[in-house]
Amino acid sequence: MSDFFSSVADYYNYLIYIVLMVIGLYAIIAKKNLVKKIVGMNIFQTAIILFYVSIGAKRGATIPIIEHGHGEAVHGAGSQAIKAAEYINPLPHVLMLTAIVVAVATLGVALALAIRVYNRYETLEEDEILAQLREK
Amino acid sequence: MRTLGILVAALTCALLFYAMGDFPPWADPGSAAHTHVSPRYIEKTMEETSVPNAVTAVLADYRGFDTMFETTVIFAAGVVCFFILRLPKKEGPIFRRYRHTLTGMTIRVKCTRKIPPVLEEFEMIDNLWAPHDLIIKTSCRILVPFLQLFGLYVIAHGHHSPGGGFQGGVILGASMILLAISHDLRTALARMGEKVHALLCPIGVLIYAGTGALCLVLGRDFLDYGALAGILHVDPVTARSHGILIVEIGVGLAVMATMIWIYNNISSRGEYDEGL
Amino acid sequence: MIWELDLVILSLVVVAAVGAIAIKDLLGSAILFGAYSFMMCLLWAIMGAVDVAFTEASVGAGVSTVFFVAAVFRTTRRSKD
Amino acid sequence: MSQHYPALLVTVPLLSALLISILGWLSRRLCFPVAVAALCVALFSSVGLLFRVLNEDVVHYFLGGWAPPWGIAYRVDRLSAMVLVVVSAVALINLIATRRSVEREFPEKIGAFYTLYVLLITGLMGIVVTGDAFNLYVLLEITALTGYGLIAMGEDRAPLASLNYVYMGTIGACFYLLGVGYLYISTGSLNMADISAILPSLYGSRVVLVAFIICMVGVFLKMGFFPLHAWLPNAYTYAPSAVSSLVAPLMTKVMIYVMIRLILTVFTPTFTFSRLALNHSVVWLAVIAIFMGAVLALGARDMKRMLSYVIIAEVGYMVGGAWLGNRAGMTGAILHIANDAVMTLCVFLAVGNVVYRTGGYAFEDLKGMFRKMPYTMTGLVAGGLSMIGVPPTCGFFSKWYLISGGVQAGQYGFVAALVFSSLINAVLFFRIIEIGYYEPFGSDHGHGPAPAPMEEAPLSMVVPLLVVVVGLVVMGAYTGDIVSGIIAPMIP
């Protein structure tokens, strides 16, 4: 039992990301409201970003901005050696900047489409739209 | 649908839990993710690009190609929103309602597409007209220049502190959006028209891709900013640093313009007339 | 890292996510989504991802929420689920 | 110059998309020529690249001048060079063929349309050419976003179909991203070649296994593979005709390319076929996909929906062929990427011509079409024959490889599905021929067949169609060279 708790303590960040992802996935599939689905889609994307950021975390390290680094003063001289263990891994952060921007782009497009759909059918509920389509 | 949703969610959950057992422990400095590729970024960024913020260096230089396409994604989103929502300009006269603030009388004016000059004692009324709150209006107006200043700072200071083109661009865009929310869309459009932000958006990406193409023309690989050393009269490492700054400015412009573009299209349903 | 703080924010994230999905008012959903994004941003700042946190604060909690509110104003607040 | 071909492939379309977007606000007439020029350069450099690859085997290009595991590198081999030529050629032909209908459908937004069109091609080319797993995700999103926009501008129900596509496409892309994250956490690298060099020591890891499954699910969603195909028929049916003849041939095929790339380069066939016991179940899913696609196509009441279901069946062909796990099956799948792109383009262009003249694409609109639009109908019939798999056309050869692969692997269900689907395709296209040839135009049955006037689509639409028809036969004739020169060296 204590083994289980220690593994949960080790992995709780990963755990939360799975929970959030499942919430988002459920919302996309099961919710009938189009905007709710978009909210779910965003939660899903953010969960994946949380996963990547968790990969990037490193114990005993600081944020990835090199200290005492001011342009020309350091480069070339190579006076102090920079140790990779002192700084958090920047690569996942870079990837996630991209992912966040992609998420907001998708959000804009999805909302624009939702507005088009609303203009046409006067409702955002998927089942009501399908009922309207079936009538014709 | 609900059972399907639960089923899919449970399946995914089970699959991911199954894999979690083999993860390296959280935040373990010895795991593969921290030892294979990334140490070079941290150790060499000062030496190779002279940018202390490793994230900016990786974003705009080591993986600059990704970032170019990321900016393109934003640009594409702007164009798509315009393409889907923007309604063609209506022909013929439009009727606008005005209220005389002194007497409270409402008049209907027949006018063209162009918005007539604003007179002191007349107030335009929309279908969704609501009286604007003076406190909100004034405080937002005071806030806007500071926001823009901060946005510029964030773009320019991305080398040394968190920030860069994206964050700064979004803040700049948000300042215009704030103006559009606190006043109305017309006020914001009078400051920055549709054509301006629709053109700024590709121009921003063009600055990025053009820098890359310039490097290609100068005989190096695409986006190899070291090639700019000859033009900028600096050594190749500093040229990389300057190249990153140029690129970040492009990103900032594109992101700012796109955020405004998307907001204007969504909030006015493509009519570009009445805002929120 | 202070793990108590971390734990509180993690649970708040989940609460905000469930709330954004479950609430029947779309405007409320949009606002809760903003809160969710902001909690996420705090979480990432704690983990040392300052650039990502900055972006999420401006994009996720700021502009995304504004887009949602604008879209909800242009459509309807009513939602059946 | 020639060492920069890989960069030109992607950057020239990108720069011209930006230029078109600016020109859209200044001078609309210039948009189309710029787009044509951009795609011509892309086609030229991809052909150049193909010849280079045939000599040098693999071409690398380092973007930003950084060596692969740190920077992003392009890696072009025979497979990607072939797909590049197909993508750029299809895009160029479609661009020229649909000019008239685009001008009619989007008079106000030509600039935006061509911007999105060229951006979509940029994304597809980038996906094919890139050697970096994360870069592929970004490009995937570019193609997806532009695709959503283009599809949404179709007829009445298009926005809803496109919105469903947004949900499904986003889930697919996110699953792929998650899979890349799992690969990153276990290998620490994002470069495909580097990952595949590290992976063999990690084959036992559960993380790698789940990474593979998640990536595959994401790609299956994007290509509309059987249980995940729900978004596809509506999106392709309601899209504007100029868009469906672009998206239908290219999007699913490029996704299949991504799948084959993942199998061949990232996770090597040994892992896919021997460590995993999944290949039988995927082939069975493919069998169901083919049956379902064929039956649903039989029940469709208009041409575009029928063709969309045929595409689902074709996706089943290729996925099944790739997962058979032998050389013939993989050869058939790769060959079918090229052949299917060309024949789908052919039929969709023909349907586009019909829509341009009659305004509809229901079966009733085809009445008397052989008299009215003889060349267009020739194109439709030629494409149909190729889809059935009649010998001189290229469809026959890839189907032959697929069937022999199925026989070698002992998957007789797959063979049966292929034969069944060919029969159904025969029924479908002969029904079209019957309607078009024997049923008189209009409703005047009493007076015998009315002498309907010839009303062929404009020359700019017919000529590209006939070029594609010739291409069908030429590709069939050169199948042997394509297989021995391009595909065979690719399969280990």
Whole-number pLDDT of residue B222: 82
Instruction: Give CA D438 to chain center in angstroms.
Output: 33
Whole-number pLDDT of residue A43: 92
User: Does residue B113 register a pLDDT over 80?
Assistant: no
D451 in helix, strand or coil? coil
Residue B253 token pair: 């412009």
With CB atoms and an 8 Å threshold, state whether C66 touches B269: no
For D415, the enclosing helix (H) or strand (E) is helix D412-438
Averaged pLDDT, B16-24: 79
Whole-number pLDDT of residue B153: 92
Pairing relation of β-strands B94-100 and D59-63?
Answer: unpaired
> Taking a C-beta distance cutoff of 8 angstroms, is the pair A50, C31 a contact?
no
- Which residue's entry shows tokens 């063979």? D415
State how far the Cα of D353 lies from the Cα of D365, in Å rounded to an integer. Answer: 12
DSSP D440: P
- Does residue B67 belong to the interface with chain A, where contact is any CB pair within 8 Å? yes
A122 sits in the region (left: phi over 0; alpha: psi -120 to 50; else beta) called left
Lowest average pLDDT, out of A13-17, B73-77, B98-102, B192-196, goes to B98-102
Q: Which residue from A minimizes the CA distance to D144?
A: A106
Whole-number pLDDT of residue B133: 76
Averaged pLDDT, B130-151: 85
Q: How many residues does chain B have?
A: 276
What are the distances in angstroms from CA B173 to CA A51, A103, B72, B148, B165? 28, 17, 17, 9, 12
The rounded mean pLDDT for chain D is 86
Whole-number pLDDT of residue B116: 60
User: Does residue A1 register a pLDDT over 60?
Assistant: no
Q: Give the count of Cβ contacts less than 8 A between chain A and B.
A: 177
Reported as a single tens digit per residue, the pLDDT across C10-35 is 889 999 999 999 888 889 999 999 99
Reported as a single tens digit per residue, the pLDDT across C40-72 is 999 888 888 888 999 999 988 889 999 999 888
Whole-number pLDDT of residue A71: 47
Reported as a single tens digit per residue, the pLDDT across D191-211 is 888 888 888 888 878 888 888
Q: Which domains does chain A carry?
A: 2-135 (1.10.287.3510)
State how far the Cα of B115 lies from the Cα of D473, in Å rounded to an integer. Answer: 60
State how far the Cα of A110 lies from the Cα of D222, in Å rounded to an integer. Answer: 17
For D155, the enclosing helix (H) or strand (E) is none
Residue C48 distance to chain B (closest CA, Å): 11
With CB atoms and an 8 Å threshold, state whether D170 touches A45: yes
- Does residue C79 belong to the interface with chain B, where contact is any CB pair within 8 Å? no
- Domain layout of chain C by residue ranges: 3-74
Residues 6+ apart with CB under 8 A from D95: D35, D36, D39, D117
Whole-number pLDDT of residue A103: 92
Reported as a single tens digit per residue, the pLDDT across D224-282 is 887 888 888 888 888 888 888 898 889 989 999 999 998 888 887 877 777 777 778 88
The rounded mean pLDDT for chain B is 82
State how far the Cα of A95 lies from the Cα of D466, in Å rounded to an integer. Answer: 45
DSSP of A63-122, one letter per residue? -SB-TT--GGGTTTT--SPPPGGGB--HHHHHHHHHHHHHHHHHHHHHHHHHHHHHHHHS
Q: Which residue has the higher pLDDT, B47 or C14?
A: C14
Q: Please, what is the Cα angle at D137 between A50 and D325, to 5 degrees?
A: 110
Residue D392's CB is within 10 A of a number of other CB atoms, namely 12
Q: Which residues of D touch A51 (CB under 8 A)?
A: 178, 181
> With pLDDT > 70 as the criterion, what percentage of chain D qualifies?
96
Q: Which residue has the higher pLDDT, D301 or B76?
A: B76
Q: Where are the alpha helices (DSSP H) in chain B?
A: 2-20, 32-35, 38-49, 54-57, 64-85, 134-156, 165-182, 185-191, 194-217, 229-232, 236-267
State how far the Cα of D473 lies from the Cα of D106, in Å rounded to an integer. Answer: 34
Question: Which of A44-78 are b and which e, b meaning 16 or more Cβ less than 10 Å from the residue's Cβ?
Answer: bbbbbbbbbbbbbbbeebebbbbeebeeeebbeee
Reported as a single tens digit per residue, the pLDDT across D416-472 is 988 899 999 888 888 888 888 777 655 544 444 455 566 777 888 888 888 888 888
- Does residue A8 belong to the interface with chain B, where contact is any CB pair within 8 Å? no
DSSP D75: E
User: What is the widest separation between alpha-carbon atoms in chain B?
Assistant: 76
- Which residue's entry shows tokens 């291409």? D471
Residues 6+ apart with CB under 8 A from D97: D245, D349, D352, D460, D461, D464, D465
With CB atoms and an 8 Å threshold, state whether A129 touches D160: yes
Q: Give the count of Cβ contacts less than 8 A between chain B and C.
A: 47
Residue C54 distance to chain A (closest CA, Å): 10
Chains C and D touch (3+ CB pairs under 8 A): no
User: Does residue D104 register a pLDDT over 50?
Assistant: yes
Q: How many residues does chain C have?
A: 81
With CB atoms and an 8 Å threshold, state whether B65 touches D63: yes
> With pLDDT > 70 as the criterion, what percentage of chain B qualifies?
88
User: Would you place residue A76 in the very low, low, confident or very high pLDDT band (cuts 50, 70, 90)?
Assistant: very low
With CB atoms and an 8 Å threshold, state whether D174 touches A48: yes
Whole-number pLDDT of residue B120: 65
Whole-number pLDDT of residue D442: 53
Pairing relation of β-strands D72-76 and D59-63?
Answer: antiparallel
Pairing relation of β-strands B122-125 and B94-100?
Answer: antiparallel
- Does residue C71 belong to the interface with chain B, where contact is any CB pair within 8 Å? yes
> With pLDDT > 90 as the criterion, what percentage of chain B qualifies?
18
Q: Where are the alpha helices (DSSP H) in D27-65?
A: 31-56
> With pLDDT > 90 as the criterion, what percentage of chain C qualifies?
27
Report the candidate in C32, C13, C37, C12 with the shortest Cα–Cα distance to residue C22.
Answer: C32
Report the candidate in D5, D42, D201, D233 with the shortest Cα–Cα distance to residue D120.
Answer: D42
D312 in helix, strand or coil? helix
DSSP of B76-136, one letter per residue? HHHHHHHHHHPPPPPPS-EEEEEEETTT--EEEEEE-SSPPPPPTTEEEE-TT--PPPHHH
Q: How many CA atoms lie within 13 A of D423 on its CB side?
A: 8
With CB atoms and an 8 Å threshold, state whether B262 touches C67: yes
User: Would you place residue B114 in the very low, low, confident or very high pLDDT band (cuts 50, 70, 90)?
Assistant: low
For CA atoms D109, D110, D111, D116, the dihedral sign is positive
As for the ipTM of the complex, it is 0.91
First and final C-alpha spacing in chain A: 60
Reported as a single tens digit per residue, the pLDDT across B87-112 is 776 666 666 677 777 777 777 777 66
Q: Which residues of C touch B55 (CB under 8 A)?
A: 51
Whole-number pLDDT of residue A78: 46
Averaged pLDDT, A33-47: 91
Residue B56 token pair: 């900016």
Q: Which residues of C touch A16 (CB under 8 A)?
A: 10, 13-14
Residue B124's CB is within 10 A of a number of other CB atoms, namely 17
Q: Which residue has the higher pLDDT, B114 or D41?
A: D41
List the 94-133 stretch of A: residues with Cβ below 8 A of B: 94-95, 97-98, 101-102, 104-106, 108-109, 111-113, 115-116, 119
Residue B229 token pair: 């050393």
Whole-number pLDDT of residue D197: 87
- Does residue D51 belong to the interface with chain A, where contact is any CB pair within 8 Å? no
> Taking a C-beta distance cutoff of 8 angstroms, is the pair D356, D373 a contact?
no
Whole-number pLDDT of residue D108: 79
Whole-number pLDDT of residue A77: 44
User: Would you place residue A121 in the very low, low, confident or very high pLDDT band (cuts 50, 70, 90)?
Assistant: confident
Residues 6+ apart with CB under 8 A from D443: none
Instruction: Give CA A82 to chain center in angstroms.
Output: 30
Reported as a single tens digit per residue, the pLDDT across B204-253 is 999 998 888 888 888 888 888 888 888 888 888 888 888 888 899 999 99
D326 sits in the region (left: phi over 0; alpha: psi -120 to 50; else beta) called beta
Report the candidate in D318, D334, D185, A19 with the shortest Cα–Cα distance to residue B36.
Answer: D185
**B166, B173, B263 member nearest C55 (Cβ):** B166
Residue D318 distance to chain B (closest CA, Å): 26
What subunits make at least 3 CB pairs under 8 angstroms with B? A, C, D
Averaged pLDDT, A90-115: 91
List the 78-137 stretch of B: residues with Cβ below 8 A of A: 78, 80-81, 84-85
State how far the Cα of D145 lies from the Cα of D165, in Å rounded to an integer. Answer: 10
Whole-number pLDDT of residue A3: 59
C78 in helix, strand or coil? strand
State how far the Cα of A108 lies from the Cα of A104, in Å rounded to an integer. Answer: 6
Whole-number pLDDT of residue B253: 92
- Does residue D134 belong to the interface with chain A, where contact is any CB pair within 8 Å? yes
State how far the Cα of C54 lies from the Cα of D212, in Å rounded to an integer. Answer: 32
For C11, the enclosing helix (H) or strand (E) is helix C3-22
Q: Which residue from B minimizes the CA distance to D149?
A: B80
> Taking a C-beta distance cutoff of 8 angstroms, is the pair D335, D479 a contact?
yes
- Which residue's entry shows tokens 């391009």? D486
For A11, the enclosing helix (H) or strand (E) is helix A2-30
What subunits make at least 3 CB pairs under 8 angstroms with A? B, C, D
Total-model pTM: 0.92
